[in-house]
């Protein structure tokens, strides 16, 4: 049976999420900013028309804000994740199998749906998501994941003509689009690869699809070979709903205000440890190593430059936040020096084990009792009542170094105090 894939992509997702609760932003140039309000990470079509580039620093947008009415908002991650979960819930109901690809994208397995019905099915999904969640999406459909990604790109490029749904299963349509699309638009072909391919005369997606795959593997790598095969219609990438457990969990932040004292750094590190250990428990694994690092900003000329990291091995693999807090605090004591104005810090958990796949150290301190029950209760309370409802004493309720979000919208769907009120 012929494979058929779909890619559903939320249109300028962060901006669309903001517009859902702020209709005054509709048809206005809007940009969502990254951590600490640093740079543009989501742009409305109107903002793109003004020339706002992805990743453009906030300070460079001041003229557009003053003269063109550009509106900037801080990224509201709690709101975006909740709306993403709702989109995925609709897709799981409508499609036989899905594979979430990012917070605003998911692959669908459409194998078995008759070709004549694919366009209608794509529009049905598009309508269901908009009706139930309120987020506009584009849908690309084809016989391989790479072609579906390219179809999704064309659905956005010619949105008015296609209605943001493109069925690219027909070989004639495939060739037409491949001959039009630059090779840089192909999924997995970044700037460096684009330069390499252009140097050997490969400028369009069609050129790449026609090259001998074995030659591509020999001259470049197996990933480029696989991409070329997919462009020619040979399915090499399948869907999987089983997300591979991460082999490393990092939690790092740049501080909105510089930190100089040990206590301030320790509260930040403890907050990062709590977040990382929660993620570790979510994938039901134990860490046997934690790395702690601190560093100043390379652009800060007002003080001394300093950066240091330390790896702390654990006597026994654990997912208990208390054990990880103890190890991280000890590591921080060894690398902290007084004087620098610290701009960033973080923790990295690594060397994971599954339950029952390691042997306890007979000479180590006894393992804490009831760890599983205590951590389970902690996670359930925070999941039900909001993260930070129950925390360890070393975690601050409100941190002075907290991420700068001066333009943050309310958490409309995840915090009771932020639920919108409508007067009758």
- pLDDT given for residue 190 in this prediction: 86
Residue 130, token pair as written in the block: 């908009």
Helix (H, G, I), strand (E, B) or coil at 293: strand
Q: Please tell me whether the overall predicted TM-score, pTM, comes out greater than 0.85 for this model.
A: no
At 372, which CATH number?
3.30.1490.100
Tell me if 339 is assigned to some domain. Answer: yes
Half-sphere exposure of 321 (CA within 13 A, CB side): 26
First to last CA, the chain: 55
Give the count of beta carbons closer than 10 Å to the beta carbon of residue 138: 25
**Bridge partners of residue 249, in order along the sequence:** 349
Task: Give the per-residue pLDDT at 219.
Answer: 83
How many residues does this entry show for the chain?
Answer: 424
Q: How far apart are CA 47 and CA 32, in angstroms?
A: 10
Determine, yes or no, domain membership for 205: no
Full strand arrangement of the beta sheet holding 30-33: 40-43, 30-33, 71-74
Structure confidence at residue 317 (pLDDT): 87
Q: How far is CA 405 from CA 131, 139, 161, 212, 410, in A?
A: 30, 32, 38, 50, 11
Q: In 10 A of CB 193, how many CB atoms? A: 20
DSSP, res 257: E
**Residue entry with tokens 């005054």:** 24
Successive 10-residue mean pLDDT values, the chain, 424 residues: 90 94 94 85 94 92 93 88 92 90 91 88 95 96 95 93 94 94 91 89 92 84 90 87 69 86 92 92 90 89 87 88 94 94 92 68 60 87 77 73 70 78 69
**Spatial CA neighbour of 267 closest among 313, 328, 337:** 328
The tally of domains found in the chain comes to: 1
pLDDT value of residue 295: 93
Burial classification of residue 15, based on how many CB atoms lie within 10 Å of its CB (0-12 exposed, 13-18 middle, 19 or more buried): buried
Residue 37 belongs to some domain of the structure? no
Q: Which helix (H) or strand (E) holds 120?
A: helix 115-132
Question: Residue 403 domain-assigned?
Answer: no
Give the phi and the psi of residue 24 in degrees, each rounded to 5.
-65, -15
Q: Is 32 part of a structural domain of the chain?
A: no
Q: Is residue 315 part of a domain?
A: yes
Structure confidence by residue, pLDDT tens digits, 350-408: 888 877 655 555 455 556 778 888 888 888 888 777 777 788 887 776 666 565 667 78
Contact between residue 53 and residue 71 where contact means Cβ atoms under 8 Å apart: no
- Structural domain boundaries, residue 310: 248-385
**Stretch (H or E) spanning 296:** strand 285-296
pLDDT for the residue numbered 299 = 78
DSSP symbol at 41: E
**Is 58 within 8 Å of 37 (Cβ atoms)?**
yes
């932040």: which residue's tokens?
Answer: 253
Is residue 30 one of the residues assigned to a domain? no
pLDDT in the model for residue 176: 95
Contact 283, 411 (CB under 8 A): no
- The verdict on residue 335 lying in a domain is yes
Contact 254, 245 (CB under 8 A): no
């Amino acid at each position: 049976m012929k494979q058929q894939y779909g890619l559903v992509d939320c249109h300028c997702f962060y901006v669309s999420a903001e517009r859902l609760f702020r209709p005054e932003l509709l048809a206005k140039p809007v940009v969502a900013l990254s951590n600490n309000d640093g740079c543009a990470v989501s742009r409305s079509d109107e903002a793109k028309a003004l020339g706002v580039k992805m990743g453009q620093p906030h300070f460079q947008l001041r003229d557009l804000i003053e003269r063109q009415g550009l509106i900037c908002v801080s990224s509201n991650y709690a709101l975006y994740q909740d709306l993403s979960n709702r989109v995925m819930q609709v897709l799981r109901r409508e499609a036989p199998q899905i594979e979430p690809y990012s917070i605003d994208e998911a692959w669908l397995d459409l194998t078995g749906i008759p070709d004549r019905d694919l366009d209608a099915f794509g529009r049905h999904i598009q309508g269901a998501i908009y009706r139930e969640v309120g987020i506009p999406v584009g849908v690309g459909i084809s016989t391989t994941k790479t072609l579906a990604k390219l179809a999704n790109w064309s659905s956005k490029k010619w949105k008015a003509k296609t209605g943001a749904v493109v069925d690219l299963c027909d070989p004639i349509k495939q060739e037409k689009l491949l001959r039009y699309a630059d090779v840089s638009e192909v999924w997995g072909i970044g700037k460096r690869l684009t330069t390499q391919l252009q140097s050997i005369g490969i400028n369009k997606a069609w050129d790449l699809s026609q090259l001998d795959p074995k030659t591509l593997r020999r001259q470049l790598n197996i990933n480029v070979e696989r991409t070329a095969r997919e462009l020619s219609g040979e399915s090499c990438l399948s869907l999987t709903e089983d997300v591979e457990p991460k082999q490393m969990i990092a939690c790092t932040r740049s501080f909105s205000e510089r930190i100089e004292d040990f206590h301030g750094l320790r509260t930040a590190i403890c907050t990062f440890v709590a977040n990382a250990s929660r993620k570790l428990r979510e994938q039901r694994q134990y860490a046997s190593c934690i790395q702690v690092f601190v560093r100043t900003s390379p652009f800060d000329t007002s003080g001394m430059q300093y950066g240091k990291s330390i790896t702390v091995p654990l006597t026994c693999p654990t997912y208990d936040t208390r054990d990880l807090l103890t190890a991280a605090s000890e590591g921080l004591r060894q690398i902290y020096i007084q004087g620098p104005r610290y701009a960033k810090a973080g923790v990295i958990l690594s060397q994971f084990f599954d339950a029952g796949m390691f042997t306890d150290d007979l000479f180590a301190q006894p393992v804490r009792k009831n760890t599983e029950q205590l951590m389970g209760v902690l996670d359930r309370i925070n999941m039900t009542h909001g993260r930070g409802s129950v925390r360890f004493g070393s975690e601050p309720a409100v941190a002075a170094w907290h991420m700068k979000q001066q333009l943050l919208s309310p958490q409309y769907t995840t915090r009771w105090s932020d639920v919108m009120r409508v007067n009758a």
